[in-house]
Structure 1
Amino acid sequence: MSAVATDMGPAAERQVEKKWRRRSLAALVILLPLALAETSHDSLREWLGGEDLIARDVDFGQSAHFGGSDWKLADLRGGKAGRLPDQAFAVIATFSVTVGDPDLQKQWLGCRLMLTDAAGRRWLPDMISGVRLPDGVMNCTSAIFSGAKTGDVITIGDTFIVPEDAIKTIRPAIGLGSGRPWYLRFQRPPK
């Protein structure tokens, strides 16, 4: 008991104690969400910056500005090839890219080609025995370090293994570190 509270009676001491308990609980209700928001802010920002979450749809034959360059779906083809399991197909997606900002190491860091389907599934590039990219087609990493200059048109592509049930609805997509959480998702070529 403090020197100030020595002349209070037991009832007055209980009232003071109850008042401080209520104030402490009220402060906890206010400070706890603020503390959680502060500690999770960086994690949330990092998560949003590392995931391709929001699609920007692009019609076939159209180009879209993304990561300082103009991207256009050049080709999407597939079939049975190499040593693939039953019910699996090889798919090659290629993009024609007109370089705008030549600092590709900054603009395209975290470049990710992928395929998506109507069910929301995603496939990342995969090595397929017996399947090669067409001549002159680079993958993302090669393109980043190619020394491309403003105005250069480069072709970027990759190979994928996709289950047979997804073939009819797959759509090629591209995600870049400088554009995340957005990514480009292209319409399939007309048949």
Structure 2
Amino acid sequence: MSAVSTDMGPTTDPQPEKKWRRRSLVAIAILLPLTLAETSYESAREWLHGEDLITRDVDFGQSVAFGGSDWKLADLRGGKAGRLPDHAFAVIATFTVTIDDPDLQKQWLGCKLMLTDAAGRRWLPDVVAGLGLPQGVMNCTSAIFSGAKKGDVLTIGDTFIVPEDAIKTIRPAVGLGSERPWYLRFQRPPR
């Protein structure tokens, strides 16, 4: 009979392996949050530049430099017009805009006229059957491609449909891509 050897060969020290495991876990604990923060930062930055988030309030009659032009609320009027649903009103907001920087395709990219109310709701322009803009009033897109020069005064406006409960607190607002996340919100004309 032969004797069986119980010698397993040279023994390896498990300490270096445990040390590397711990280091790897620590590295993951540090790098994972950093990676998430980096990707979230880019997403948040893009979101901020695409949304109208921070209000600059403007008194009625005041002209404010915004997006290379001076904006002033000219008129805000509304009522029943065309074929509207029950408890809805058509509103037309118009602005006089004095052009300072005629590169409107750059300055006004993403131009957005809107209405806001005291509850924080927003309405974008809408088509009202049987109601058009007054003579000489352009929407944002028409103005951008109008070929306006420095010093020109344009009348910009649009139509909106708003619920009856918002009529007393609506305020016109303007957002431009070159100014985001800032946007202008104008006080209503005095009655």
On whether the aligned pair clears a TM of 0.5, the verdict is yes
TM-score when normalising by structure 2: 0.91
Task: Give the gaps of 5 or more residues in structure 2.
Answer: 1-8
Is the helix fraction higher in 1 or 2?
1
What is the deviation of 1:41?
3.2
Q: Which residue of 2 aligns with 1:144?
A: 144
- C-alpha offsets along residues 98-146 of structure 1, whole Å, 9 cap, x if unaligned? 0010000100010000001111110000000111111110000000011
Alignment of 1:16-95 (within 5 A): 16-95=16-95
Helix, strand or coil at the partner of 1:106: helix
Residue 187 (structure 2) pairs with residue 187 (structure 1): yes
Identity within the alignment, %:
81
Root-mean-square deviation over aligned CA pairs: 1.4
SS at structure 2 position matched to 1:83: coil
Determine if the alignment matches structure 1 residue 156 to structure 2 residue 156.
Answer: yes
Aligned length: 183
d(CA) in 2 for partners of 1:7 and 1:104? 79
The equivalent residue for 1:128 is 128
- Deviations for 1:53-84, whole angstroms, at most 9, x for unmatched residues? 11111111111111000000000000111100
CA distance in 1, matches of 2:182, 2:29: 35
Deviation (angstroms), 1:20: 1.8
**Partner Cα distance (1:153, 1:128) in 2:** 26
Distance 1:131 1:17 in 2: 78
Q: Tell me: CA distance 1:160–1:19, structure 2 relative to 1, closer, same or farther (3 Å).
A: same
Q: Does 1:96 align with 2:96?
A: yes
Aligned-partner residue type, residue 25 of structure 1: L
The aligned amino acid for 1:33 is P
Deviations 1:145-167 (A, max 9, x none): 11111111110000000000111
Q: CA deviation at 1:40?
A: 3.1
Which sections of structure 1, spanning at least 5 residues, go unmatched? 1-5
Query: Which stretches of structure 1, 4 residues or longer, exceed 6 Å deviation after superposition?
Result: none
The 2-side partners of 1:8 and 1:186 are apart by 80
* 1:39-60 CA distance string (max 9 Å, x none): 2333222211111111111111
